[in-house]
Chains A and B, each alone.
Chain A
Amino acid sequence: DAEITQSPRHKITETGRQVTLACHQTWNHNNMFWYRQDLGHGLRLIHYSYGVQDTNKGEVSDGYSVSRSNTEDLPLTLESAASSQTSVYFCASSPSVPPSSRTFFGQGTRLTVV
């Protein structure tokens, strides 16, 4: 069965370190998204991609970067981790054409920056 997986599921890192969160989908979806979810803020879009070599900034992109070298993967990099980036991160994918009723989420990565 097709799926979307994130790794690691949990990570603790130190302030200032570079961290990369992986997202891999086998739906063959063109669109991929990274969100963060914090208490009181709901899901906020960090970066998104509509296809290979395409990346776009979302609402809260500062301090994050992504690259899309193939259809299946959209890794999220925290260039220099900060305590404010402690959060739960969700990756999602959807087909090209809206509506996005076929958007699927990964299981999430819980990141703690100490």
Chain B
Amino acid sequence: RKEVEQDPGPFNVPEGATVAFNCTYSNSASQSFFWYRQDCRKEPKLLMSVYSSGNEDGRFTAQLNRASQYISLLIRDSKLSDSATYLCVAEYYGGSQGNLIFGKGTKLSVKP
């Protein structure tokens, strides 16, 4: 079974804190990885793709360790607006097509 596992949280942190989310995936055939953000009662939206070399987008840093089948997301200098659920996603390629497998999400609450 193809699965993506995340700590559900919630993570309750003060503004300005650094917070890290971890995720593991079970199928080594996974090809691409993403972090999505989902606000309460809204649709998921792509936050960032995750590359083997690690990648950064402002206050957000994503890392991928293929050997350990492990993905992480680091948020520095947390803002109130970062409060949301963060979904770890692995993509499996079937032939020429991709299929997304979602983790259950990690809830972040940033407090003043």
Q: A43-B102, A90-B43 are known contacts. Are A101 and B96 too (CB-CB below 8 A)?
A: no
Residue from B32, B98, B102 within 8 A of A42 (CB atoms): B102
Interface residue? A100 (CB, 8 A): yes
CB distance from B47 to the nearest CB of A (A): 11
Size of A's binding interface in residues, CB under 8 A: 23
B 72-104 to A, binary, CB cutoff 8 A, 1 in contact else 0: 000000000000000100010100111110111
Task: Tell whether A98 pairs with B32 under 8 Å between CB atoms, given A48-B99, A90-B44, A105-B44.
Answer: yes
Chain B interface residue number, banded = 20 to 34
Task: Give the total number of A-B pairs whose CB atoms are below 8 A apart.
Answer: 55
Given A41-B104, A90-B44, A99 and B99 touching (CB < 8 A)? Answer: no
A99 to B96, CA, bound (A): 10
A108 touches B91 (CB 8 A): no
Contacting residues, chain B, for A90 (C-beta < 8 A): 43-44
Query: Is A107's beta carbon under 8 Å from chain B?
Result: yes
Which residues of A line the B interface, CB within 8 A?
31, 33, 35, 40-43, 45, 48, 50, 90, 94, 96-101, 103, 105-108
Could you write out 19 A-B pairs with CB less than 8 Å apart? Answer: A42-B87, A42-B102, A42-B103, A43-B44, A43-B87, A45-B99, A45-B100, A90-B44, A94-B98, A97-B96, A98-B31, A98-B93, A100-B91, A101-B46, A103-B46, A105-B44, A105-B45, A107-B42, A108-B42
